[in-house]
Structure 1
């Protein structure tokens, strides 16, 4: 019995490669705007979490010092916050009201 090897050196044609690239391009065009749309939601939720964390630091400051901090800089000076970490991920400034409530301000 003689074994035959099929000699099939056929690869992808230019048309097939163009169709694959077209499909990939369409998928990218559809997904990229959705990712950027969710980016603002992610930053907003990150800001909400940061405000809660700073509020906890205000409470810790109040327990330790028996007084409320007057601003964010008081928390930084007494090592309750890192000086590089005083704004929300979306760039909004953080303020502390007279009654100790932490809020995010639109920048």
Structure 2
């Protein structure tokens, strides 16, 4: 029985301690940066919708700015919901620029 190989209980406890310390350090950093991650995701989504508006105009030889439902019917967007993945409401201006819908966000108290 003297030549048995394996980890001792102490060694396993040390490994668990190291993993726990790493988790304690990383989880608050991820939580702190989640709002920044959501903002970047919303910016990216708005740019993608703007690009789809331009593609719609080019494909249809039309200078009229489409609505979200027209973009969905044309196959340019998957969802007609005018909001970012984080819930921020957006709107397409007459010029085809996608912006945050200010009238909706101020009425909800955000």
- Normalising by the residue count of structure 2, what TM-score does the alignment of the two structures yield? 0.67
Matched, 1:91 2:87: yes
1:69-102 Cα distance to aligned partner (Å, 9 max, x none): 2x32222233221126753222222211233221
Deviates more, 1:48-57 or 1:86-95: 86-95
Q: Kindly report the root-mean-square deviation, in angstroms, between the aligned alpha carbons of the 2 structures.
A: 2.7
- Normalising by the residue count of structure 1, what TM-score does the alignment of the two structures yield? 0.68
Secondary structure at the aligned position of 1:95 is classed as strand
What is the correspondence of 1:1-107 to structure 2 with a 5 Å cutoff? 7-9=2-4, 12-63=7-58, 64=60, 65-69=62-66, 71-83=67-79, 86-105=82-101
- In structure 1, stretches of 5+ residues that fail to align are 1-6
Q: How many residues align?
A: 100
1:18-58 Cα distance to aligned partner (Å, 9 max, x none): 33322221111111122233333222222111111111122
The structure with the largest alpha-carbon Rg is: 1
Shift of 1:13: 4.2
- In structure 2, stretches of 5+ residues that fail to align are none
For 1:13 and 1:25, how far apart are their aligned partners in 2? 19
Query: Contact 1:61–1:80 (CA<8 Å) still a contact in 2?
Result: yes
